[in-house]
A and B are shown apart, each in its own frame.
Chain A
């Protein structure tokens, strides 16, 4: 039957099913296809808390949310237009996100008595009126997939594993998308077993054709390409962008990258990505524990390489003492914290911003460090590159903060050309100027030189004990200690001279309310501020990449607003710092649920402040 075509500016879809249903893959494919088509996209994978939760249970639900549009898209969407649920549990967990009159595509086969019991349903929601307010497209995906593959000779298990392709094909038809990219992906992924290539392609087409011929829905949707800035784009995930940024920095600094880390959610994908790029001279070292990971990095950095370690909150806690050694040694290294819900093991697969104070103060003694935070998946690239620059050019360990939401989310990225990336220049020792090498002799920025083993005449000893200014010899002198504490602080403060002045990112340059944010809240705050500003509210958005030191003009910017609101996925950590630093009555907007803010929550607060 013929279908009408409806134009849409933006669409939010949630794919949900068992962790074995290939939900992440389906979501990623749909995202890539839309991105390649030219939509702006933003994604949010929501992994199950238990990797091996029993099939069909609420704990085992894996979700993938994406928003794509012909307009600028800064978040994965507050509420969704379409929910694709592969079983009753996935349906139950995600239904609250579906907007009124939204569309539900359900795999009816996932709603048998057993599924309903596992999802803790007394009655079948497909039949008891639960769906009255929604548009429902029921499909027996299992049956359709088995029919499509009846002659394939594959076992039932393998046949069922390609069910996700049926759904994907169905949606490609619904949203009028070309399937080529996914077809190529299937050929590549299963290139070792041609029968699986055939099966997946077949099911994908079957889904597409089913959508075309069945009368399950009447109108197709058209989401035009977005008006992004001209240039070349690719889609990128946060952890991937972090890995690429490290490789780029290593190239631009002409220092090999040494990455020592211990597996931990949600940081491990950086290790996986880097391990693929050994042809760049990248050394990945999977250490025996978190402490060894940072210590191998200290060793590599002493040896003259760009040393980087990554973890999440619990691992960062373990690394604290060694990071302090890095501060004392004044060696360049980058410590990545992909934050997750805490404290303790907390919520490993959920997102939070509650390790900011840990980055500021999580070491013994006065141990100041520069701290940077990425604002979005693609921003990880530029931010980690900057973190590496500061580490090398200022001889200091640097914290780079990301979080689960950024790490696994993806968006289009207008990738740079390598020639456009700046060179990173370490401070070397010039024996002509100072014949006797003095490890703690500094330049005007208080930066010491990086002389590494193998350099004749540069033999020196460094260590965790307090050292005498200039010579680096062990010193217990009280005045010297205070002097060195001051020097280490001032060295970090002076970095402010090398970073860009802060801009008002969106909205008003002065006025009633300033939304001051950092990290992964960027997209939602931007969306809310723009909306409020369009409504005539005098609200501005300042988003910080540099948290230590702050950009030099921050006090100035803040002073131009009557109220300062700091939205954070914690209980007010940047808030404490800002209040202490600038002695202002800033207020927090806090959410600690393991899930990001919605733009609506931010907007409500802005309106309340001026209301």
Chain B
């Protein structure tokens, strides 16, 4: 087993285990695993200080394939387990691996509470809009009308908009990327790892067995440029096959304009620190088949610097020590009112 004081000496291979990877051939999870392994040597952490925690679902087998510390826990609870780990061990680099069912359905409560507490950890939400491990039921992100084994006439559930939900829970780092764009994924993962606070990264992941092509319109070379909006801090919102379209804020209303009519200076300039605009951006969630729909944004929507729960917790412990001195066990066992019984 190889360990190194300097992660610079390690390579992606040092983070892979001897376990057979058990995902279906062609599953989008492979690409994510590869990218995560590839950034590990660059995040500036010792291997033994890195922990991957997952819940249940296809994606949650992830920790078995990472040669770090790891826990494959129970359905929906990875976020809560990571919260406890990070509270007690602020020194660790903690990564939560979860899916749309795990994080947004059974584990929805823990997700929002973890986000508001803003632990310094990273969440990779593999969104494939389906339950894969249980063989194909609709998930909380499946679109209305989705025909699955449990919804033969189509789903009547209105789906979650995950990033809007996260922003609503006051997440301090909100981003979206996709399995089919390794370069973009890598960039976002690295950015997330650098954020001090909870970085919430939604990854569109193709389940080629039960929901093949769910995100094809965003990932396919033919349609990608027209359907996606790549966010870059300080840059205008430009998209389109010819980079000929932009988003303008028209009295608070995002509108698609042609760059033949407007210059880039007229466009909405992306600002990662702008919470209100980030909320608007997460609302770019139109069904791509609807006429005049907005493109789907990818990249970092929002970054905020806010105190971390574990830091505040540690400060309180320090404060208590300053006020009362280091805990004296005999003193609390005695209490204040003692009487003596003579022999």
Interface residues of A (CB under 8 A from B): 32, 35-38, 181, 225, 227-236, 244, 247-248, 251, 256, 258, 260, 277-283, 285, 287-289, 291-292, 295-300, 302-305, 307, 321-322, 325, 329, 415-418, 436-437, 452-465, 473-474
Contacts and interface: CB of A to CB of B under 8 A. Distances in A.
A233 B83 contact: no
Contacts of B66: 461
A299 B88 contact: yes
A453 B110 contact: no
7 contacts: A35-B337, A247-B329, A280-B329, A292-B113, A325-B73, A454-B92, A460-B70
Contacts of A297: 84
Contact of B341 (A229, A321, A329): A229
A457 B1 contact: yes
B80 A296 contact: yes
B133 interface: no
B82 interface: yes
Interface of B: 1, 3, 17, 19, 46-53, 56, 63-64, 66-74, 77, 80-89, 91-92, 109-110, 113, 313, 316-317, 319-321, 323-327, 329-330, 332-335, 337-343
B73 A464 contact: yes
Contacts of A455: 48
B332 A277 contact: yes
Contacts of A465: 72
Nearest to B326: A279
A182 to B, nearest CB: 11
Contact of B81 (A299, A452, A473): A299
| Residue in A285, A299, A436 whose Cβ sees the most chain B Cβ within 10 Å | A299
Given A279-B326, A297-B84, A459 B343 contact: no
Given A260-B84, A303-B92, A461-B71, 9 more contacts: A232-B339, A283-B88, A285-B84, A296-B81, A302-B69, A304-B88, A415-B333, A418-B330, A453-B48
B19 A473 contact: yes
B83 A234 contact: no
B3 A35 contact: no
B340 A231 contact: yes
Contact of B325 (A181, A279, A459, A461): A279
A291 B335 CA distance: 33
A300 B88 contact: yes
B81 A302 contact: yes
Given A229-B341, A295-B77, A304 B327 contact: no
B332 A417 contact: no
A74 B321 CA distance: 38
Contacts of A285: 83-84, 87, 313
Given A247-B332, A278-B316, A292 B88 contact: no
A248 B341 contact: no
B341 A288 contact: no
Contacts of A229: 341
A298 B92 contact: no
Contacts of A454: 48-49, 89, 91-92
A458 B49 CA distance: 10
A475 to B, nearest CB: 11
Contact of B110 (A288, A321, A416): A288
| Residue in B68, B73, B316 whose Cβ sees the most chain A Cβ within 10 Å | B73
At the interface, is chain A mostly helix, strand, loop or mixed?
Answer: mixed
Contacts of B342: 230
A235 to B, nearest CB: 7
A283 B80 contact: no
A457 B69 CA distance: 10
A236 B317 CA distance: 25
Nearest to B17: A461
Contacts of B91: 454
Contacts of A463: 63-64, 70-73
A55 B110 CA distance: 39
B89 A295 contact: no
A192 B285 CA distance: 56
B338 A234 contact: yes
Given A235-B337, A295-B77, A296-B81, A461 B327 contact: no
Nearest to B22: A474
Nearest to B56: A464
A418 B46 contact: no
A459 B1 contact: yes
Contacts of A291: 77, 80, 110
Contacts of A230: 341-343
B84 A295 contact: yes
Nearest to A303: B89
A287 B340 CA distance: 41
Nearest to B62: A461
Contacts of B110: 288, 291-292, 295
A603 B1 CA distance: 67
A298 B81 contact: yes
Given A232-B339, A247-B332, A260-B84, A461 B74 contact: no
Given A288-B109, A456-B46, A463-B72, A296 B84 contact: yes
Contact of A279 (B327, B330, B340, B343): B327
Nearest to B336: A234
Contacts of B82: 299
B109 A35 contact: no
